Amino acid sequence: MIQVHNNIQHRFVVQEHHARHLHYDFRLEMDGVLRSWAVPKGPPQKSGLRRLAVQVEDHPVDYIDFEGTIAEGQYGAGRVSIWDAGTYTLEELDRNEIRFLLHGKKLRGSFALIRMEKRPRDWLLLKLKES
């Protein structure tokens, strides 16, 4: 695990996505792209909750402000709206775990994404208990 000792603020967005099934796209601006996860039940808002987060392809950074309708026949067809947005502070990062502080309107505090060992695209998104 790499400890990150800077206070650089990066952006994040959570987009409510009404595609074939309602899910939430959780995106962290990182290394010039939006690292992205589909969260079927929405991000956890209470400490101790964990949600499945399926890693999907990275998106261009300019997608961070996208709201609108993706046309039928297109990948991800359906309505997209911004559910929450803000900045985050990266605390720790390695191949299998990302820890960060979110500074959003709805999501605030310590969170982690932890990769599931036997299913590399599947992660757990956790709201950590505040100490």
* pLDDT score of 76: 80
Q: Which long-range contacts (CB under 8 A, 24 or more apart) does 107-111 make?
A: 107/14, 107/43, 107/45, 109/47, 111/44
Mind listing the pLDDT tens digit for each residue in 22-36? 999 999 999 999 999
Task: Copy the structure tokens of residue 128.
Answer: 């950590």
* pLDDT score of 86: 97
Mind listing the pLDDT tens digit for each residue in 51-105? 999 999 999 999 999 999 988 888 788 899 999 999 999 999 999 999 999 999 9
Domain ranges of the chain: 2-127
* pLDDT score of 124: 97
Is pLDDT of 47 > 60?
yes
Spatial separation of the C-alpha atoms in residues 77 and 96, rounded to whole Å: 30
- Segment 34-61 mean pLDDT: 95
Q: What is the pTM of this model?
A: 0.91
Could you tell me if 123 and 55 are in contact, meaning their C-beta atoms sit under 8 angstroms apart? yes
Distance of CA 4 to the CA centre of its chain: 19
